[in-house]
Homo-oligomer: A and B are copies of this chain.
Amino acid sequence: MREIQSLARGLKILNRLAEANGTVSITTIASDLQIDKGSASLLLQTLANYGFAEKDPHTRQYKLGPSVVQLSRSLLTKMPLRETAKPFLLQLVHDTGECAHLGVLSQGKVLYIDQVESSQTLRVNTEVGFTAPLHCTALGKVLMAWNATEMPVDFPRATPRTIVDPKMMQFELDKTRSLGYAMDDEEFNLGVRCIAAPVIDYRGKVIGALGISGPAARLPIDRIPEMAKKVTAIAQALSDRMSFIKQD
């Protein structure tokens, strides 16, 4: 597998800009990514030429440019899974009263590609594009359970309840596969529980996961099976629908 170095460097810079809080200086980028200051300058200029980065002419610092927003829209609007899933997410919110998510694998993480909030809260959809670790989210466990290659090497702790032992995780994934759904029991955010189930392709491949999340108080352990039934039912219905979509 050959890789074009300068392109790879440019992409790494984009990721670096994305994880920064504000703007970033060239020297910071250069030292973080171990590349020459002058080379970094050229790469940033190129990124800026195409709108992928933007330079504040005053501070001479860089940040992400607007082109990435265009690309994102292009991807999201053409994604059959997302388009198809929308009504199912709405239905799920209606059935459970909790907010619903749709996620896919991206670079060893869960990428949230759609979300429907429960009734009262009318917050906008900024959570689209959010990424979370696989091992401490319900969506992530589902994606791991049916994509063996995607198992991360370490499981950093997010809360006291996070599963950090690989053996325990194996057990957890076995359970997920046999039950047909996964749960996140305050393993990512304290006080929040999630339940997720797989979305299956026309080829039988797990291409995504959908689920609900809510405060632990509204999702007590003894109600989990009942709620999980609703989640798996919707996921199954969506999978059935997806089986007609040949594309991709």
Contacts and interface: CB of A to CB of B under 8 A. Distances in A.
Contacts of A21: 78
Interface in A190-248: 247-248
Interface of A: 1-4, 6-12, 14-15, 17-19, 21-23, 42-43, 45-47, 49-52, 56, 63-78, 86, 104-107, 111, 113-114, 124-131, 247-248
Copies of this protein, total: 2
B129 A74 contact: yes
B128 A73 contact: yes
A19 B73 CA distance: 11
Nearest to A104: B66
Contacts of A77: 126
Contacts of A42: 2-4
The list of the 10 closest CB pairs from A to B, nearest first, reads A73-B129, A72-B72, A66-B106, A18-B74, A7-B10, A68-B71, A64-B75, A11-B50, A51-B107, A69-B129
